[in-house]
Structure 1
Amino acid sequence: MDSILVRGGGELNGVIPIAGAKNACLTLMPATLLSEEPLTLTNAPRLSDIRTMTELLGSLGAEVASLQGGQVLAMSSHNIHNHTADYDIVRKMRASILVLGPMLARDGHAIVSLPGGCAIGARPVDMHLQALEAMGADLELRDGYVHAKARGGRLTGAEFEFSVVSVGATENALLAATLARGTTVLKNAAREPEIVDLAQCLRRMGAQIEGEGTSTITIQGVDRLGGATHPVVTDRIELGTYMLAPAICGGEVECLGGRIDLVGAFCEKLDEAGVSIEETERGLKVKRKNGRVNAVNVTTEPFPGFPTDLQAQMMALLCTANGTSVLEERIFENRFMHAPELIRMGAQIDVHGGHATVTGVEKLKGARVMATDLRASVSLILAAMAAEGETVVSRVYHLDRGYERVEEKLGACGAHIERIAT
């Protein structure tokens, strides 16, 4: 099993290209199930989760070709011969549940295993199922699988309000509603850029959608969708992660393809902490304003608030900030599992329920640490680059789910980082 070895010290200077968004691509790929015509995604990230979704779609009969080194995905679902998403594939990744809505919308029936994923909270699929039920789906949970059938063979438009904001449930309902008979209105819908990207792709395929990016999305169902070519939106979480690298280590890094509108609340907190962000023709240039950063308080919220997927990385920055910070996690329980590993590196962190109090120290020290989930893994790498001595981060298979070529991107800016077999 691979580990990442980091020798801390030294500033970062250079450019880092930001990939297409993992969470957007994993949502866009199941859209191929809605049409018999080809769907091509450009700017796709090269990640293990993308390979898992490719495997899942292939098991259903879809054809997925990875072109141009994996940055282009050419898909066709003209021959869907299987409507069962098997546990052995679905268990690897929560986004697998997103094949349920499209299969149900197109062919009126589907059997999908309850999903797996990383251990950062329960993250149930209740609202996915409730939204589909509102559109006329008969659902039965049996032996760990969701058995779904559309009454009368086709879903029907409905008005549905999510009890809490859920990105995945909004995506599944949006996908399903495109081919439903009549109008669907989704209230208290998620507003994330990945939702907007999905709606734009579906519109290219012929869907009639209004209101994406707001809390109310209206979909007028159509009889069929066609093919399209669509560029995957920039990964705002990878963007925020690499923006933190020069903030933690010093130096100046330009994140190619970065946009402030994707990470507005995050940028506000960086500015408050004493980090300069400059828009350029190619992206965003980031550096410290003046020496050690300042402590700030952070509360995770649905978009456009501070992203939960940047909480662990922000904690790494605040470990060496001047003063005491409080981070409040409102999205997922169990999402401070990186804190004990940062403490092994000399951080002063006190976790109590959904709050973590971080008192900044002058310097972190290298140690052997273990990644517990995707975002925790990269937070440890960020901390290690500013620590004294060597740090070995184990269980980096988590990292490979969401970050491509981390060693190459950071190494090109001066980081001493390498992948080792352990």
Structure 2
Amino acid sequence: MDSIVVRGNGPLKGQIPIAGAKNACLTLMPATLLSEEPLTLTNAPRLSDIKTMSELLASLGAEVSSLQEGKVLAMSSHDLDNHVADYDIVRKMRASNLVLGPMLARLGQAVVSLPGGCAIGARPMDLHIHGLEALGAQIELKDGYLHAKAPGGLKGAQMKLAFASVGATENILMAATLAKGTTVIENAAREPEIVDLATCLRAMGAQIEGDGTPRIEVQGVDRLHGATHPVVADRIELGTYMLAPAICGGEVECLGGRIELVAAFCEKLDAAGISVEETDTGLKVARRNGRVRAVDVTTEPFPGFPTDLQAQMMALLCTAEGTSVLEEKIFENRFMHAPELGRMGASIEVHGGTATVHGVEKLKGAPVMATDLRASVSLILAGLAAEGETVVNRVYHLDRGYERLEEKLGNVGAQIERVRSS
């Protein structure tokens, strides 16, 4: 397996372009299943998860072409010939379950394996199932597969999600676009990726109001047409690279970044002593004078602090002045990076869903092991500020969520390289 070698070498300076959002693109791609006409996505990220979703759509009969070095995805689902999303593909990535709603809406049937992905919690399908059943679907779990059908078509309904689940909101939203009548989703997720999906679906002819609020209303239409849509900037990649100069010092401009994508995160950076300035082309980030200050963080659904930035924020707080408390309220098992940071000299105590970080003056390089996607990059960030050499092993997770990370960090002065396995 590949590893990443990082050597701490002081402040960073320059610009880092922010790619299109992985989580948005993985949601937008299944939307092609809703129409016989082509859907084209621009500003697509070049990641292994995108390839996996392309493989899944192709297995269902869709055509997916990667253009302009992968930055444009041209898709067409005019001739779907399969309604079974096989385990061998779905197990690689949890977002695969997002084909369920679109296939039900257009084909009236779908068989989808229970999903896989990072080992950061159960993330069950209950909310997806309950929402689609409210629209009239009949769903049964057999042999690890969800067997769903809607022989009379889907019908609009009013529902309230028990939790503001992003995936459930996305699946139900896509299904509702072709359901007969009006669908109202209460306690809907408000993430920018939801807004991006709704914007794309409207471009395809859907009638949607309220995205970005807890109440989304959808008036079903008979059919959707083709469209071209730009993928929104990746707020998690944005936050990750904003932390690089915060940890190492220096000044980095994240091109394409916008405050509204990471407002709660920026509030915590400000409290820690990190300057974030909007520019004409993005966000400029620099550490103010002196050592970073400790801050407390609680992960919450958007617009709160993102769970997908918790591990990276912990890396920053390892060398902060004082004691920080991080509370994880979205996923269980999401502090698996803490023992690895401990190998680098961090002082972290984990009790259930709470981690207490006692800041130390300096981290020291060490061999560490990545346990999931965000843990991978948190260890790399820590290595950028550590004395000596840090070797991050099992970085195959990294390629699922970060496009050309070594190149982007190297261009602003980081000493980082990938060592290919033989």
Please indicate the TM-score interval, normalised by the length of the shorter structure.
over 0.9
Q: What is the aligned residue count?
A: 421
> Given that residues 311 and 374 in structure 2 are in contact (C-alpha distance below 8 angstroms), is that contact kept between their aligned partners in structure 1?
yes
Note the C-alpha offset of 1:290.
1.1
Q: Which amino acid aligns with 2:22?
A: K
Note the C-alpha offset of 1:165.
1.1
- Give, in whole Å, the separation in 2 of the partners of 1:110 and 1:297: 44
Secondary structure of 1:397's partner?
helix
1:240 is matched with: 239
Q: Which amino acid aligns with 1:89?
A: I
1:344 is matched with: 343
* Aligned: 1:121 with 2:121: yes
1:261 is matched with: 260
* Aligned: 1:271 with 2:282: no
Deviations, residues 51-101 of structure 1 (Å, cap 9, x unaligned): 000000000000000000000000000010000000000000000000000
- Give, in whole Å, the separation in 2 of the partners of 1:195 and 1:143: 31
Q: Which amino acid aligns with 2:23?
A: N
- Give, in whole Å, the separation in 1 of the partners of 2:327 and 2:234: 23
Note the C-alpha offset of 1:421.
2.1
2:395 is matched with: 396
Note the 1:219-238 alignment, pairs <5 A. 219-238=218-237
Note the C-alpha offset of 1:410.
0.2
Secondary structure of 1:69's partner?
helix
Deviations, residues 278-305 of structure 1 (Å, cap 9, x unaligned): 0000000000111211000000000000
- Give, in whole Å, the separation in 2 of the partners of 1:145 and 1:355: 34
- Give, in whole Å, the separation in 2 of the partners of 1:414 and 1:370: 24
* Aligned: 1:186 with 2:174: no
2:375 is matched with: 376
Q: Which amino acid aligns with 1:145?
A: Y
Note the 1:13-24 alignment, pairs <5 A. 13-24=13-24
- Give, in whole Å, the separation in 2 of the partners of 1:74 and 1:31: 12
Q: Which amino acid aligns with 1:67?
A: L
Note the C-alpha offset of 1:10.
1.2
Deviations, residues 275-333 of structure 1 (Å, cap 9, x unaligned): 00000000000001112110000000000000000000000000000100000000000
- Give, in whole Å, the separation in 2 of the partners of 1:157 and 1:418: 52
Secondary structure of 2:33's partner?
helix
> Given that residues 207 and 220 in structure 2 are in contact (C-alpha distance below 8 angstroms), is that contact kept between their aligned partners in structure 1?
yes
Output the aligned Cα RMSD.
0.5
Note the C-alpha offset of 1:247.
0.3
Instruction: Show structure 2 runs of 5+ residues with no match.
Output: none
Deviations, residues 4-35 of structure 1 (Å, cap 9, x unaligned): 00011211000000000000000000000000
Q: Which amino acid aligns with 2:41?
A: L
Note the 1:96-111 alignment, pairs <5 A. 96-111=96-111
* Aligned: 1:86 with 2:58: no
> Given that residues 38 and 75 in structure 1 are in contact (C-alpha distance below 8 angstroms), is that contact kept between their aligned partners in structure 2?
yes
2:58 is matched with: 58
> Given that residues 114 and 144 in structure 1 are in contact (C-alpha distance below 8 angstroms), is that contact kept between their aligned partners in structure 2?
yes
- Give, in whole Å, the separation in 1 of the partners of 2:387 and 2:202: 51
Q: Which amino acid aligns with 1:105?
A: A
Q: Which amino acid aligns with 1:275?
A: I
- Give, in whole Å, the separation in 2 of the partners of 1:224 and 1:166: 26
Q: Which amino acid aligns with 1:260?
A: I
2:77 is matched with: 77
The sequence identity of aligned pairs, in percent, is 81
Note the C-alpha offset of 1:107.
1.0
* Aligned: 1:130 with 2:146: no
2:322 is matched with: 323
Deviates more, 1:189-198 or 1:288-297: 288-297
Q: Which amino acid aligns with 1:148?
A: A
* Aligned: 1:45 with 2:49: no
Q: Which amino acid aligns with 2:68?
A: Q
> Given that residues 109 and 151 in structure 2 are in contact (C-alpha distance below 8 angstroms), is that contact kept between their aligned partners in structure 1?
no
Secondary structure of 1:325's partner?
strand
Q: Deviating runs (4+, > 6 A) in structure 1?
A: none
> Given that residues 136 and 151 in structure 1 are in contact (C-alpha distance below 8 angstroms), is that contact kept between their aligned partners in structure 2?
no
Note the C-alpha offset of 1:151.
3.9
- Give, in whole Å, the separation in 2 of the partners of 1:110 and 1:326: 44
Note the C-alpha offset of 1:417.
0.1
Secondary structure of 1:234's partner?
coil
Instruction: Show structure 1 runs of 5+ residues with no match.
Output: none
1:218 is matched with: 217
* Aligned: 1:304 with 2:303: yes
